[in-house]
Amino acid sequence: MSKSLNLDKETIREKIFSHKETRHRGSKIVFAPRSVTPENIDEVCEAYAEVRENKFETVIVVESYHGELDKAIPMISDMEFKTPFGPVPGNEQMRQDFCDEEDDFFIDDEGKHEHMGVYNHLGVVKCFRDDFDGVCIQLADERPAIVRELVYVLKEVLAYRNVLLVFCCSLSPDNMNEFEQIKTVVRTNDISGLMNYTFSGRSKIEGAGVFVAGVSVAREWELDIDFIGEKYEHAQGCSMLAGSAGFKKAPA
């Protein structure tokens, strides 16, 4: 987790549980910035508030690697993720299951570095849950074919497992026009349009392929996506794409 995050475990837990009402039932996906900082912690905590009561055994953090790697979709081999709030065991069997499903998944540490989002986000989950393990997937190749492969594997391997998926992606409030476009294509389930726009070279999304993968998996599982970033647009380091995906609640 960011070394500048001067918040203790209980403070983060209180922020998460300060959100009394959840928007969904059975949320399985969180969208959040890769870095967790004192400036964006309120946004991050509201996103995680949606999943605080859910039953999940494994947290899978998906993030981009900015640079060149030999492998398209590597997974770091940590048998134990060291977070500021205690260790989280790695799920070696799930890593093997991903590798067995498609050829572009590898257990590989070439892209491992101390500023990865996995350490941020497993640490936040440790603030409200202890009994879980973790997997980190890096997307090192954002070509549409690789993103589709990532979506297929996540959908197939995880469909009937108790997991929480965390997609690390960000869009600055400076790009509000783009955010409005994204909301429209997400609302209309236009995944092809989202992919075409995102990979056109015009998008300002950090972790664009990861975001497209998250939206695509949510749609495959028929989950409702809710963005909360507009509430925090004046906070440094916030993301307009922060939010969660789950089953829409029935009207009271």
Q: Can you give 116-160 as a three-state secondary structure string?
A: CHHHHHHHHHHCCCCCCEEEEEEECCCCHHHHHHHHHHHHHHHCC
pLDDT at 174 (0 to 100): 94
User: Are residues 171 and 241 in contact, defined by beta-carbon separation less than 8 angstroms?
Assistant: yes
Read off the CATH number of the domain in which 131 is found.
Answer: 3.40.830.10
pLDDT at 2 (0 to 100): 43
Number of domains in the chain: 1
The one-letter code for the residue type at 209 is G
Q: Is residue 1 part of a domain?
A: no
With H, G, I as helix, E, B as strand and everything else as coil, classify residue 247: strand
pLDDT at 251 (0 to 100): 60
Q: Is residue 2 part of a domain?
A: no
What is the span of the domain harbouring residue 190? Answer: 9-248
Q: Is residue 4 part of a domain?
A: no
Q: Is residue 60 part of a domain?
A: yes
List, for the chain, all residue ranges whose pLDDT scores fall below the cut of 50.
1-4
pLDDT at 4 (0 to 100): 41
